[in-house]
Amino acid sequence: MLKTKQTIILTSILGMLFACANNNNQESSSKQQDNQGSEIKITPIATSAKQDEAKIMYDYSLYQTAFISLRQKQTADAYNFLSTQTGQQNSMVEKVRIGLLRLLGKNAYWGEFLNQYKLLPANTNNLEVNCYAAVAGYSQRGISLSSMSKELVKSNEKLPEGCNKMIEVAASRGMLNQNDVWRRVRVLISNNYITLARSLANAIGQPIPSASVYDGSKASKIAKIMPGITPKGRNRSDIDSFVYGLYGSVDQDDIGFVEGVIGLSKARDLNMASALQHFNKADKTQLSNEQWEWYARSALRLKQWGQLNQVIQTMPRALRETPTWWYWQGRAKTALGDRTSAKALYEKAAASGRNFYAILAHEELGRPLNVKSNTSGGNPSSVMALAQDGQIHRALVLFRSSLNTGDRKMRTAAQDQWRYATKNFTDDKLILASQLALQNQFYEMSILSADTSDSLLNYQLRFPSPYKNIVDKYSNVYGIESAWVFGLIRQESRFMMAARSSVGASGLMQIMPGAAQMISRKIGLDGYSLNNMDTNINMGEWYLADLYEQFNSEPLATSAYNAGPGRAKRWRQSGLEGAIYAETIPFNETRDYVKKVMSNTVYYSHLFGLPKRTLKSRLGSM
């Protein structure tokens, strides 16, 4: 069925190409001449508009075929696509070549891997592909098997398949310290990569025995701790007794690792007192970034400000020097009476941009939120000139075609191409790109480009408000603030009406089918379609208002909108500050979601001229 459909598409596009073959290039040449004085560097479009668009769509059809084949572990279609793109660089070429390299590396076809790797632009930095290159013997661009494996074997984080392979190869060649190897084995087990862990142990000639076999070797000690550090094992009811029983029978580095794993498990269950006990006993050199952050959150949720200050101070520098922990260490310093240090930390957080903690830091410093733009969207001629750039043009062609066909994969390809086209743009060019995307209703990329600009700020581009008449209509009906609704839509769908999540949520307000059935009964809406803009906003606003009525709290209702009211109820705690609630939400997605929706809401409220409410007052307490 796929081949038949693909053949029809290709035949149609080829027909368009042949139909346009005799068109001259006078129009294209004229446009290039007109733009010679522009500051925008133009990538010439060598064919007529229709022929050019047909070629882009033809490329897209080959690209999709190549990607499907790569997922099926076949390479012929990838090579075919790349052969049509000789000398070309765009997001499709980059993604297909990276996909091909991953497959070649996985199958150890090193000669052909190196041939393809050398065609990858030097500024394309894919960690997994670089790991495979190290195994293949490539030794340029700062890549070598020895240096990369010695660095990554110490990682406490999940790594892609190619990097796990690289570590294993280096271990088998005796390049790695065995203590580092065993540390990595423990990390793999804790992430449930048991086969990889066993394979790495085998690479140094020390296979992991069954848990019942204990001979005092390091491998048997790893086997002994394994039942307590797998995802299933660390949630066992007797986990504290299990850990206690390990003392004296395994090495200190093993115990220190186990304590960190159990601390994380307890913290994510919001059992913060127990989590702190385990984290305090953990080997701090073996804590992952996630464990460090939950160590801090455990102290934060318990309002143990002295412990929180100490944990943040001990974190790895790269983790500590972020807006989140600048703000919370500032709060800890304030609670401990060190207002001078607190002010310095708030200043750093406030200067970090327009994020959740930058806003809260501004409020701690007593400064009003600034929503005054320092740049316009760019003059029309500059925006028009940018539209002629070959890479931008390619993205817009894919985007417009995705609207006409309803092809979500094509829209994703358009987004990828936009990112590729703008990745090295200066701030002034990013603002032009944002304006161009907005004019084309390519809202998600308009927001992305405006957000990426660091020095030039246009708040109308960062926080657009399409469909405002519909949003306002239902905000008045259901008695909720339109700024909150816009803050939520900006995070949920970036104003993409056709947005659809991996779990089936649809439309601007990302409503699940089950929720839609419930809402339709409540508001008496028969024969609805979630792809209808008015219906989608109507349902979403009713549901948000209903959640607010249940919780009487914007952050709680926001978390319930994302993760469900049952979870939001389990996560709340009487008297808990809203900002602490937001930071200690166990789900990464929901925690990020709540912080972004609430900060969006504050910006929209100011831009709409609504009564000024601080972010901290909106967050309130439980």
- Asked whether residue 315 is assigned to any structural domain, the reply reads no
Which residues are registered as beta bridge partners of 621? 577
Same domain, 112 and 203: no
**Structural domain ending residue among the three candidates 124, 140, 163:** 124
CA pair distance 338, 606, nearest whole angstrom: 32
- CATH code of the domain in which 411 resides: 1.10.1240
Domain boundary among 277, 302, 327: 302
> Is 290 found in the same domain as 207?
yes
In a domain, 372, yes or no: no
- DSSP state for residue 604 in the 8-state scheme: H
User: What is d(CA 519, CA 514) in angstroms, rounded to the nearest whole number?
Assistant: 9
Q: Are 20 and 51 in contact (CB under 8 A)?
A: yes
Range of the domain at 80: 2-21+40-124
Assess whether 397 and 478 both reside in one domain: no
Give the tokens for residue 327.
């703000």
- Residue 268 phi, psi dihedral angles, 5° rounding: -70, -20
> In this predicted structure, what is the pLDDT of residue 589?
96
CA–CA distances in Å: residue 41 to residues 7, 87, 247, 419, 456? 37, 19, 66, 17, 20
Average pLDDT over residues 461-490: 98
Q: Which of 486, 620, 597, 488 is nearest to 551 (CA)?
A: 620
State pLDDT tens for residues 333-346: 999 999 999 999 99
Split into its structural domains, the chain has a count of 4
Mean per-residue pLDDT of the chain? 91
Same domain, 400 and 428: yes
For residue 247, pLDDT beyond 50: yes
Assign 213 a pLDDT band (cuts: 50, 70, 90): confident
Give Cα separations from 615 to 106, 153, 346, 569, 593 (angstroms). 49, 42, 15, 22, 15
Considering the entire predicted model, what is its pTM? 0.90
**What tokens appear for 45 in the block?**
């479009």
DSSP-H helix ranges across 440-575: 443-452, 459-462, 468-478, 482-492, 513-523, 533-551, 554-563, 565-571
State percent of the chain over pLDDT 90. Answer: 84
User: Residue 17 has what pLDDT?
Assistant: 46
Spatial distance between the Cα atoms of 589 and 501, rounded to a whole number of angstroms: 13
Q: Residues 356-390, buried b or exposed e (16+ Cβ, 10 A)?
A: bbbbbbbbbeeeebebebeeebbeeebbbbbbbbe
Select from 124, 159, 191 the last residue of a domain.
Answer: 124
Instruction: Encode pLDDT of 3-53 as tens digits.
Output: 444 544 454 444 444 444 444 433 333 333 333 333 444 444 444 677 899
Q: Which residues does residue 577 pair with via DSSP β-bridges, in sequence order?
A: 621
**Helices 408-422 and 91-106 meet at what angle, rounded to 10?**
100
> Within 10 Å of residue 205's Cβ, how many Cβ atoms?
10
Residue 321, number of CB atoms within 10 A of its CB = 12
Same domain for 487 and 452: no
511: helix, strand or coil:
strand
pLDDT in tens, 53-62: 999 999 999 9
